[in-house]
Structure 1
Amino acid sequence: MVFSPKLFGTLKNYNQAQFYKDLMAGVIVGIVALPLAIAFGIASGVSPEKGLITAIIAGFIISFFGGSKVQIGGPTGAFIVIVYGIIQQYGITGLAIATVMAGALLITMGLLKLGNVIKFIPFPVIVGFTSGIALTIFTTQIKDATGMQLDKVPASFIDKWIVYFEHFSGIGIWSVLTCAITILIIVSFTKITKKIPGTLIAIVLVTFVAWLIRHLGYNLGIETIGDRFTIQASMPQPVGLHFDFATIQHLLPPAFTIAMLGAIESLLSAMVADGVIGDKHDSNTELIGQGIANLVTPLFGGIPATGAIARTMTNINNGGRTPVAGIIHAVVLLLILLFLSPLAQHIPMSCLAGVLIVVSYNMSEWRTFRSLLKNSKSDVSVLLVTFSLTVVFDLTIAITIGLLLAMLLLIKRLTETSHITVFTDDVSASVYQESTASDEKLDIPAGVEVYEINGPFFFGIANKFDEVVAQVAEMPKARIIRMRKVPFIDSTGLHNLDSFIRLSRHHKIKIILSGVNEQVHNSLRRSGIANEIGDENICSNIYDALKVASGK
């Protein structure tokens, strides 16, 4: 089946002991997810409760319908840049429509069984846009981390830094100190235990100290969430969205980016989780589950969601082994939203900035980035182009250009590894081995040419075949095209082969194919080339082909 949620399979042998583990894991993950959901919501350009609503609804749906036993879904740092950009250009309504469209794309990808294909996106592309997103997130947090009083921060990366340097004198020392202490607590606590991330401890401690200082009557100029936002402690009613062709046309590129980014991040997270728990997720079901979540969440004002690797690992480390833990995590967040969310208004903005700076550092994968710079020039070029476009322009352009460049370089590599050799009676290589046996030799008679194609006969090498043929000056009586090392042939290869056959017939040259595998043979039948040549001229090996060429 294409759609088979893991929840229903795990419930068959579910027991009380596993429920207790899932309950504890779900509660801890829910508490850990609280500050992250708020931080990602604010950084994305929406109110804090929108991040919580996303974590609640998407987290529940992804666990209920997903293809991984331990995946925890919700808003993630990777979406901050793209969400903020969409809101700036199309508004909140535009973001909701783009997210719904992305959900539909994800479901379509899952139904078409493209889950495994997503995993083959080139690694330099993934590292390039991930590192680019990390740098962009870090840049967006400079204002809150330093306490700069700016009415509006430019959207462009370069313009942001220009404004920051212009307002350098407006840095608030207490905001910088709050941010630095937050980072120090997170980093230090990680070395003590990995079960409860230092993010939670940092926010609780820093928020309490900041509240206490303000309560005692000291005004240090540290802005809190409550100074900027009003948190609605309730679940909103679903709203309808209006779709028309013009809107869909405008929002298709960002919707595609959301879908691709969501698919990549969720499947990478699921793969990492598989390695830890020794399980195998269903990638197509996972895409469908992610798609359903992104279809529903925007109707309640939520933002795009995907699998979150940090929260997924927290779930695993605390004993969660079934989707029940993810469902409990969503319920815990719902209870916090309804009864405890007013407490979140005391969290300092510089504290959240510290959390996101740590998130951006962890996302940057700078060690991997540095190691990739030692690879081939093509990998380095893909990496740097994707990274630069992500930072300077946006993720939509970066993913599109990065994938395109990677595909072009792959075609170039395939073309370079595929080659065509001509053997005739006039060259020293006219004695050619058919097998590994050193005493088995192949004599090519006069008037016969053998064209050995080594590699796929696709559009990248089809023109090379024409060039090799054109270099042969004499007109032979027969031409053998040896295809034992051709795994497949595409439409361009078929077209060039057909043209080659017709030209040879015009010059009364007989064409024989040798060593054609079943897949290539089927392609030749469908194109009509097999009938044109004749079955008697399609031989299983070179010896039979030489006999046919000699008229024996």
Structure 2
Amino acid sequence: MKTFEFRPKLFDALKNYSKEAFLSDLMAGIIVGIVALPLAIAFGIASGVSPEKGIITAIIAGFIISFLGGSKVQIGGPTGAFIVIIYGIIQQYGEKGLLVATIMAGVLLILLGVFKLGTIIKFIPYPIVVGFTSGIALTIFTTQIKDLFGLSMHIVPADFISKWIAYFQNFITISIWPTVVGLLSILLIIYTPKFSKKIPGSLVAIVLMTVLAYILKTYAGITSIETIGDRFTINASLPHAQVPNMSWEVIKALFPTAITIAVLGAIESLLSATVADGVTGDKHNSNQELIAQGAANLITPLFGGIPATGAIARTMTNINNGGKSPVAGLIHAVVLLLILVCLGPLTKHIPMACLAGVLVIVAYNMSEWRTFRQLLKNPKSDVAVLLITFFLTVIFDLTVAIEVGIVIACLLFMRRVAETTNISVITDEIDPNAGLDIAINEEPLTIPEGVEVYEINGPYFFGIANKFEEQMVQMDDRAKIRIIRMRKVPFIDSTGIHNLTSLCRMSKKEGSQIILSGVNEKVHAVLEKSGFNDLLGKENICSHINIALDRAKEILSK
């Protein structure tokens, strides 16, 4: 097994870097930085932290992910997927708890990369990914109703159902101007791409609605449009690093949440990198990417940031605007830093309703409702996983949804594998052309009287072991010799070994003999290591059915 090789894509990209590539990266980095600004602010506020912390996350995490990452064009930063998790952690443990959970998640991501587990993340079933992504989208939309319509609510309940009950009870407090600003923002984001592909609709909406809100407030005396400055005090500078006090009790309490952040971050970043590969024709290094994501989530919280991961929308913006290497991602982080330092104070005039409109569009794009609807036509087991994950995400939280969804998916997978393994019984003749383990023989192989041949087709694991044992017990006759053909058994687990061991001991008591046929090298090595060979006898483990039948005849003659 090869050891992990630390090799960021940036190092390879700089080997033959040219002036033309830099100019292309420069333009892409500037545009992506501008696109990332409104999203970083919106994600920060929606997560329950101040807006500059969203920008700080985009700056630091974005720089680290591009510097250390395994993808040429991946852009990292805060994403909508984490909003629900972050908000829940802050409500329960405060911002210090969020800091600790993010650092732990960073360590877990680095370990995933170092131990080359990047490919394992890809085996998480697609219905689970769609289920919790759609659930997060609905939850994000739900959290924005108050600001979108300017409802007068002092306390917004935490859980989904209570939120909507409170919204309906307070909908009579709807404010016209915030509603107008929010709906205009949504329309601007939707229709801007029809006029310009380069300028992001979210930026257009924020600039125009901020100007509109300022004019209405200053010259028309309309004060009902709440802005960022009305709710937050913005610190337009990078904070100093602070290491938190991490007690064992806090670590134990936050460990499940840290796992959720790490798993979600890994899935989203690798999904984004895979999508980028499909467009650019490049191939990302999943383990290197996980290390970069881990380093970003380990360092960013020390400066007050929130969890970060690869962002599909910003990554695609980078590609579409000519980004060629990780240099574009580094430039995007520098652009955001300059905006924070030079233009940070101006962000206080951005209307909250406008940011709500931005997040409504983000939620819509995340919802994947067409994919969700298509998956409902799939087998019932997939539909069950999809709906359970979706409703658990919405009604409870993402941690519970991921844990339960993966457990259910694993159980259903094991059931499907068990269903693909079948057992057949042969008592008369064997077709010589029907198996790879049979020596060349024109004539059918006759099975002697008193011999039964069982063939297992598929993995011999705990899902099938008991089924095989039950089938043998159901046979009324007492065969003197039972040959078990295992030529199509790719692997065997501890339960299968235990089952075979019990079968051998039971057969000895009954005066019958077990012979194994066609055991492949991998399965044979497992049996030998377990001590099964000594119990059965090496002479009774045969390479193919001809030898097994000859051995059976030898035993019968004695």
Q: CA deviation at 1:347?
A: 0.9
Matches of 2:336 and 2:547, distance apart in 1: 73
- 1:96-115 alignment runs, 5 A limit: 96-115=99-118
Show CA shifts across 1:398-423 (max 9, x none): 00000000000011111111111122
Structure 2 residue identity aligned to 1:272? V
Matches of 1:193 and 1:256, distance apart in 2: 41
Residue equivalent to 1:357 = 360
Matches of 2:539 and 2:196, distance apart in 1: 73
Residue equivalent to 1:239 = 242
Residue equivalent to 1:475 = 478
Residue equivalent to 2:72 = 69
1:160 matched to 2:163: yes
For residue 484 of structure 2, give the secondary structure of its aligned residue in structure 1: strand
Q: CA deviation at 1:122?
A: 0.1
Query: What's the TM-score, normalizing by structure 2?
Result: 0.96
Matches of 1:101 and 1:50, distance apart in 2: 19
Matches of 2:106 and 2:446, distance apart in 1: 62
Structure 1 residue identity aligned to 2:222? N
Structure 2 residue identity aligned to 1:405? I
Structure 1 residue identity aligned to 2:298? L
Q: CA deviation at 1:444?
A: 1.6
- 1:149-548 alignment runs, 5 A limit: 149-219=152-222, 221-425=224-428, 430-432=429-431, 434-435=433-434, 441-548=444-551
Could you say what the CA RMSD is over the residues aligned between the two structures, in angstroms? Answer: 1.5
Correspondent of 1:27 among 30, 33, 43: 30
For residue 513 of structure 1, give the secondary structure of its aligned residue in structure 2: strand
Higher mean displacement: 349-358 or 540-549 = 540-549
Show CA shifts across 1:363-400 (max 9, x none): 00000000000000000000000000000000000000
For residue 374 of structure 1, give the secondary structure of its aligned residue in structure 2: coil
Matches of 2:317 and 2:523, distance apart in 1: 49
Structure 1 residue identity aligned to 2:398? L
Structure 1 residue identity aligned to 2:356? A
Structure 1 residue identity aligned to 2:520? N
Q: CA deviation at 1:431?
A: 4.6
Matches of 2:38 and 2:227, distance apart in 1: 13
Q: CA deviation at 1:433?
A: 5.2
Q: CA deviation at 1:534?
A: 2.7
Q: Which 5+ residue runs of structure 1 have no aligned equivalent?
A: none
Q: CA deviation at 1:218?
A: 2.9
Matches of 1:104 and 1:195, distance apart in 2: 37
Question: Percent sequence identity over matched residues?
Answer: 65
Matches of 1:418 and 1:471, distance apart in 2: 18
Structure 2 residue identity aligned to 1:550? K
Would you say the 8 A contact 1:434–1:440 is kept in 2?
A: no
Matches of 2:9 and 2:399, distance apart in 1: 32
For residue 264 of structure 2, give the secondary structure of its aligned residue in structure 1: helix
Show CA shifts across 1:72-103 (max 9, x none): 00000000000000000000000000000000
Matches of 2:548 and 2:441, distance apart in 1: 21
Matches of 2:433 and 2:426, distance apart in 1: 13
For residue 455 of structure 2, give the secondary structure of its aligned residue in structure 1: strand
Q: 1:218 to 1:433 in 2, by over 3 A?
A: farther
Structure 1 residue identity aligned to 2:15? K
Q: 1:318 to 1:133 in 2, by over 3 A?
A: same
Q: Which 5+ residue runs of structure 2 have no aligned equivalent?
A: none
Q: CA deviation at 1:434?
A: 4.3
Q: CA deviation at 1:14?
A: 0.7
Show CA shifts across 1:113-168 (max 9, x none): 11000011000000000000000000000000000121111110000001000001
Matches of 1:326 and 1:422, distance apart in 2: 62
Matches of 1:305 and 1:126, distance apart in 2: 18
Query: What's the TM-score, normalizing by structure 1?
Result: 0.97
Show CA shifts across 1:157-187 (max 9, x none): 0000010000010011211111111111111
Show CA shifts across 1:244-296 (max 9, x none): 21111100011111001000000000000000000000000101110000000
Q: CA deviation at 1:55?
A: 0.5
Matches of 1:377 and 1:270, distance apart in 2: 31
Structure 1 residue identity aligned to 2:423? I
Matches of 1:522 and 1:189, distance apart in 2: 64
Would you say the 8 A contact 1:30–1:329 is kept in 2?
A: yes
Structure 1 residue identity aligned to 2:57? T
Structure 1 residue identity aligned to 2:407? L
- Across the two proteins, how many residue pairs are aligned to each other? 548
Q: CA deviation at 1:220?
A: 5.1
Q: CA deviation at 1:3?
A: 2.5
For residue 270 of structure 1, give the secondary structure of its aligned residue in structure 2: helix
Show CA shifts across 1:452-507 (max 9, x none): 11110001011111111111122212111101111100111111111111211222
